[in-house]
A and B are shown apart, each in its own frame.
Chain A
Amino acid sequence: MIERSEVMGQPEPALADHPSAPDPAPVPLSAVDAVARMASPESPVPAEAVPVGGGAAELPVNGYPGGLDTVSNATATPGDLQPYAELGLRDDEYDRIRQILRRRPTQSELAMYSIMWSEHCSYKSSKVHLRQFGEKAPPSDRMLAGIGENAGVIQISEQLAVTFKVESHNHPSFVEPHQGAATGVGGIVRDILAMGARPVAVMDPLRFGAADHPDTARVLPGVVAGIGTYGNSLGLPNIGGEVVFDACYQGNPLVNALCLGVLPVQRLQNKAAAGPGNVVVLLGAKTGRDGIGGVSVLASATFDDGSAQRRPSVQVGDPFMEKLLIEACLELYDAQLVVGIQDLGGAGLTCALTETAAAAGTGMRVWLERVELREASMQPHEILASESQERMLLIVAPEKLDAVLRIAEKWGVPASAIGEVTGAPEGSGPGRLLVTWQGHTVVDVPPGSLVDDGPVYARPMREPADLILLQADRAETLPRPATAEALRETLLRMIASPNLCDKTWVTEQYDRYVLGNTVLAQPEDAGVIRIDERSGLGVAISVDGNGRYTRLDPYHGAKLALAEAYRNVAVTGAKPVAVTDCLNFGSPEDPGVMWQFAEAVRGLADGCAELGIPVTGGNVSFYNQTGAAAIHPTPVVGVLGVLDDVAERVPMGFARTTGNDHDLIFLLGETRLELSGSEWAWVTHEHLGGVPPKVNLAAERSLAELIAEAARVGHLRSAHDLSDGGLAQALVESSLRHGVGARIALPEGFTAGSMPFVFLFSESAGRAMVAVPRGHEKAFTALCVERGVSWTLIGVTDTAGNELEIRDQFTIGLPELRAAHSATLPGLFGEGAATLAESVATGTSTPDAEPTGSDQGDTDPIVGTAPAGPDGADRAEPVGSDGAASAPAAGPAAAAGPDEAPAAPGDAAPATAASGDAARGAAASGDAASTTAANPDTATANPDEAASPSAATASPDAAAAGPDEAASPDAATASPDGAAGPDAAAAAGDAAPGAKVSGDGASSTAAGDQEAAARTDAGDRPTD
């Protein structure tokens, strides 16, 4: 497949030595058995006998007397006018082709150059910028293959490597959503396959126009069904992705597809067509007229009113053939029957032939009539340009051809030997690609001239004129909710908004279980796949992008996308090691777009350098533009991380705890007033302006290292990245995942006016929310100190509570949250996702509110009160096996009480203490304890119990503080906003130097807090 190349075009060195060959071809055939076996004639067929489809009148591109434009014909008729402009070539590009060939190109050659030199294939506008990925790349001893290959390959153990890449299929998916998206999956899967890997998972970052736009109702269901149909039929679990809506994508939806593959290190394949005499085999589906001109005409021009007529340019997928192709190729690799391999994607055979030859510096002799066709009337240029799916080009040693054909036959995959690798005509320099059709030479070109010598443009760039004004219009100045009621309404509105709502309607159309190695899948922050069943070795992957941020500041927006994907991988406990990217932009001919692109690439390259992880491959999609309106610049970044043992992965949902237990919820990182570009600004004010949140990659790195370490030693029960929608979104998602509520106290500095809103909805980067089992908090916070990550204890999980409480603000039951969160997409796109008969009958608008009950057996308390169901008779939710829930149904409040009460005196008792730590050290962790127990919920929920929790906390100061509400929030906030630092430092006791935890001085006062904390506890709990 087409890949970006770092190599700049160089002047064709061998031009003078190789004048175009006369027709018929003089290149001698080596008399290899294998070749001799090939079906077709060696001897030229007389021209008059050639069936050329009925003569000149039917030739679609250009008519030639005699019906076929051969090399000799081209030489003889240098003045013929050719439709190069219609094929997307500029005057100077056409002139350059004539220069290279020293004649006019034949019809076939013109088609080949036009597609290979198109933006899509040649990266002519992006090359000069993409070089940074190589130049700035941090050293990596894991990378076995990088940019320029079909996909990057990363070694993850002595024996195993993984390969992954994300690619776009945007334009086809707008024209024909189902097939466009389906073949997008097919294409990226073949890229992965071509590296020698078994594809093991896919992910799909998707962006659509406004959720309620009528055309979105056409595009989205088609895209989702296409991805589902193709991926499901291949048996590849779909483990994550994105579904984003924004009016800017209305005419240009972004359908990106990522695939992950696994290979034993020694099975790594390459695409070089090495070894003159080797046979060129086309394996896979027959070649048809689908997708002709797809790359040049379709993907490299801005959409206009004629788009609807381009439907025939979209390829049609056959996932069954692809599945067979996968199995056949893997068997071929294992039997070591393949010298080189390349998938056929954009630019079809043209690309595969020229890239494989160019990679080896060899030439190639191809008999085009040996290509199996779906339509016998196809012309040479059509065969060369066809983008028929499910095809691979193999280079095979002649003596192994039989074995190759046998394996192909076993899997029922058509295979034909269509040519052979040749050396340089005069024994030196690169070879030539010589293609004949029924004995006539129709192509005679230096393969490198199509692959590497395409035009390269340093296109003009200019910062968009409106950017300064846009950045000055900050969302921080918008009116913010400042009352509890307004905040409550905002939360419900936000979690129901199209970008933040539950995406089950989409993701349940994808198989996430097949292959049996899916450890985490959507809606988790990252997908996690087990690679080695014995050792538990696995990888985590996430793909993220934020067009709004990038619109406001492409350099930092790209870094933010990188940071988010990196963080999403990190919160699973994985160590991020590599990056892939799909750069979706408008027209490169618009200087403003080009500037955005350059800035984004620079940001991404710098970001990768700062994080110490290389870009291993990806693709660029330009011309995502309808008329003058370009999409938001949208770099989508995929990060891959390694987990030594997937059993240690950290999921995002609050875990069910038994008995009286609950986990402590910590917010890691610092929350600032950062609302520009936020989901909130967009949803509630349709506002886009200001500058995006600050990005600090050093802090991201510390956070990642902290989480990986904490996960490894078992400090984390759950972890969730904070991004779009801020803490509020994370809390809701973590609560709804397993139906476990939470009680949150606002930290110091976030309690008054609109600050509670800021705390909940700011989108400051570098943050994560983690749940720590009781008893681990001291060690955990000490680790935070050691890693320089600021932490804030913000509350506790509440398994029995069945509600989310933001103390002093509001309490919302999980059923209400779930109803709001999950009704949006079914409401927009139909009840397909809702449970059938019953829901129709009862008019329930919410699809299976507790569909998965991911822990079996637990009867989700939600069940009883379930979703929006107007009549209490909501169909029974999937009830776990033990009706345990029915008991606590008594009510969250009541439940909360008893839950905490026993905990209090018993183990939460502060006194257990300090286990040798300085008293003040104890304070910090004790302060955690205090939050736990004294946490308002207990007190408020169950006044009678108040005594015990407060006792639990720290009797003395609770008492001192008077009302325990006062005591606990205090305690709770002891650590927030950087205050965490000193506090934690103290906690660590021994880790004294950690004192300046909070990194960049954001640490606020905290003095009082520390005191409070210190007072709060005499002690600490033992760790378990």
Chain B
Amino acid sequence: MTARIGVVTFPGSLDDRDAARAARIAGAEVVSLWHDDPDLHGVDAVVLPGGFSYGDYLRCGAIARFAPVMGTIAAGARAGLPVLGICNGFQILCEAHLLPGALTRNQHLHFRNRDQVLRIESAGTAWTNAYQPGQEILIPVKNGEGCYVADERTLDELEATGRVVARYLGGNPNGSLRDIAGISNEAGNVVGLMPHPEHAVEALTGPSLDGLGFFTSILKHLAGVPA
């Protein structure tokens, strides 16, 4: 059976079509989820896409976490539903306390879009099992508030428990502490990632095909193939 992946659209979501395209290229059936509808329509996994939900005039993701759909997603995530938050989605996951820490204004205060090398630090999550630990990938990063921060203890714990999923290499684009580009929850079903794997799935439009692994990972995970 084809895995069903839900992609949420909040008002102000921008990369929702792209996340859907990537999931489709990976072989998933894509289900569009609407911020105002708490029903997840039986999806097997959820992607919270990039963008500026509700304009993000307040703290990024601070309003989105209260969207009706987020209540269901948060409950599901705590029960093991795989959730990938990309960029704004990562911010929403932090605001929703599904992931620790916060994403703040880029240290240099500019929005920055570039092709970024990452190192996959953990291939043990639902969303990264198609990669090798230590594998270096190139995918776009684009954000204005992507600087990951958390207190030292949290950072140490993330490191110690293998929950740093990806790290920036060759230059930190936003000032994230310890070059963190993505983290997961303890169970590994919830992953937040600042860069955009959905923009590296086609040779014609992306800097590489390296992003596809996030989407093939979840299919593998859902198919029960051990990571």
* A residues whose Cβ falls under 8 Å from a Cβ of B: 225, 228-229, 232-235, 318-321, 323-324, 411-412, 507-519, 530, 646-647, 831-839, 848, 851-857, 875-881
Contacts and interface: CB of A to CB of B under 8 A. Distances in A.
A233 B175 CA distance: 22
A336 B202 CA distance: 34
Contacts of B142: 232, 511, 513-514
A836 B144 CA distance: 14
Given A233-B55, A878-B138, A412 B169 contact: no
B18 A836 contact: no
Interface string B155-183: 00000000000000111111100000000
A881 B52 CA distance: 32
Contacts of B11: 320, 323-324, 411-412
A856 B138 contact: yes
B2 interface: no
A517 B15 CA distance: 12
B14 interface: yes
Interface stretch (B93-101, B106-114, B213-221): B106-114
Please indicate which of the listed interface residues B50, B171, B206 has the most CB atoms of chain A within 10 Å of its own CB. B171
Contacts of B111: 225, 228-229, 232, 509-511
Contacts of B207: 852-856
Contacts of A839: 171
Interface in B40-69: 50-52, 54-57
Given A320-B11, A323-B11, A509-B110, A518 B205 contact: yes
B117 interface: yes
B114 to A, nearest CB: 5
Contacts of A321: 55
Contacts of B138: 853, 856-857, 878, 880-881
Contact of B14 (A235, A646, A876): A235
A879 B117 contact: yes
A511 B112 CA distance: 8
Contacts of A837: 172, 175
A512 B114 CA distance: 9
Interface string B132-148: 00011110101010000
A516 B199 contact: yes
Contact of B116 (A324, A517, A878): A878
B39 interface: no
Contacts of B173: 835-836
A337 B140 CA distance: 39
B117 A509 contact: no
A519 B171 contact: no
Nearest to A323: B12
24 contacts: A225-B110, A228-B111, A229-B111, A233-B52, A235-B15, A235-B51, A323-B52, A324-B12, A508-B110, A509-B113, A510-B111, A513-B113, A514-B50, A831-B108, A836-B107, A836-B171, A836-B173, A837-B175, A838-B172, A851-B171, A856-B137, A878-B171, A879-B117, A880-B138
A320 B54 contact: yes
A227 to B, nearest CB: 10
B92 to A, nearest CB: 16
Given A852-B207, A856-B207, A832 B114 contact: no
A839 to B, nearest CB: 7
B171 A835 contact: yes
B73 to A, nearest CB: 21
Contacts of B112: 508-509, 833
A516 B172 contact: no
A511 B21 CA distance: 18
A412 B56 CA distance: 15
A646 B204 CA distance: 8
B32 interface: no
B199 A513 contact: yes
Given A324-B11, A513-B196, A832 B109 contact: yes
Contact of B113 (A512, A646, A836, A876): A512
B210 interface: yes
Contacts of A514: 14-15, 18, 50, 142, 199
A303 B86 CA distance: 46
B33 to A, nearest CB: 15
A533 to B, nearest CB: 8
B198 interface: yes
Contacts of A833: 108, 110, 112
A854 B116 CA distance: 10
B88 to A, nearest CB: 11
A833 B106 CA distance: 11
B208 interface: yes
Nearest to B171: A835
A862 to B, nearest CB: 12
B69 to A, nearest CB: 15
Contacts of A877: 170-171
Contacts of B198: 516
Contacts of B117: 853, 878-880
Given A512-B113, A856-B208, A832 B108 contact: yes
B17 interface: yes
A228 B106 CA distance: 14
Given A508-B113, A835-B171, A517 B54 contact: no
Please indicate which of the listed interface residues A412, A647, A838, A878 has the most CB atoms of chain B within 10 Å of its own CB. A878
A711 B69 CA distance: 48
A886 to B, nearest CB: 14
Contacts of A512: 113
B29 interface: no
A848 B18 contact: no
